[in-house]
Amino acid sequence: MAAMIKRYRMFFLLVIINLIILFSGFEQGPIAFKAAALNLKEMLLVLPPIFILMGLLDVWVKRETMIVWMGDKSGFKGMSLAFLLGSAAAGPLYAAFPITYTMAKKGVSITNILVFLGAWSTLKIPLLLFEFSNLGVKFTLIRLFFNVFAIAFLSWLVKGLMTERDHRAFEESIVKNDALSD
């Protein structure tokens, strides 16, 4: 029980703060509490399917396969796949983080993880379709070009700026978190 409280202490702290705000007599208290409850409800509806997909990815796709397709030596093929997977995804950005954790565990390169996150946040197919129909083809293609270029460049830049120590710390955090989840 103590381990669970320690692990979720920030969640419990935020619940307590929201309850204090709710009963404090401030006019905005009930509004803030309702917004927090709606956000929690949305997360509880979005995260279970993401965790199921994450579990399937973890079980069905071998680490060696992920390394070949999206590892450090995957090059353009891995980056293209990261763009495609991120663009085809649905849901808010916070839903992408459990998936990227599984990808990292499977040996996906940091560059491709960053590309996946960038594509998830800015290149979703429904967003592109909305832009085509409401803002025009020219605007959508220009934004798409600059976003693809910026995501690829910044992912490559971050990877280049990481030291060997940063890489080791990243890999150790994956191993440590994996041990905690068992």
Which is more confidently placed, 43 or 80? 80
Examine the pLDDT at 92 and tell me if it is beyond 90.
no
Contacts of 20 (CB under 8 A, 6+ apart): none
Mean predicted confidence (pLDDT) in 70-93:
91
Mean predicted confidence (pLDDT) in 70-76:
92
Which is more confidently placed, 161 or 126? 161
The closest of 36, 40, 39 to 18, measured between CA atoms, is 36
The reported pLDDT for the residue numbered 11 is: 87
Residues 118, 148: Cα–Cα separation, whole Å: 9
Length of the chain: 182
Which is more confidently placed, 141 or 178? 141
Buried b (16+ CB within 10 A) or exposed e, 21-50: bbeeeeeebeeeeeebeeeeeeeeeebeeb
Q: Give 9-59 pLDDT, tens digit per residue.
A: 898 898 898 888 888 888 888 888 899 889 889 888 888 888 888 888 888
Provide the mean pLDDT of the chain: 89
The reported pLDDT for the residue numbered 115 is: 97
Examine the pLDDT at 65 and tell me if it is beyond 60.
yes
Contacts of 141 (CB under 8 A, 6+ apart): none
**CA neighbours closer than 13 Å in the CB half-sphere of residue 90:** 5
Domain layout of the chain by residue ranges: 1-47, 61-181
pLDDT band at residue 147 under the 50/70/90 scheme: very high
pLDDT band at residue 182 under the 50/70/90 scheme: low
Examine the pLDDT at 119 and tell me if it is beyond 90.
yes
Mean predicted confidence (pLDDT) in 77-93:
91
Examine the pLDDT at 93 and tell me if it is beyond 60.
yes
Taking a C-beta distance cutoff of 8 angstroms, is the pair 114, 77 a contact?
Answer: no
pLDDT band at residue 70 under the 50/70/90 scheme: very high
The reported pLDDT for the residue numbered 149 is: 97
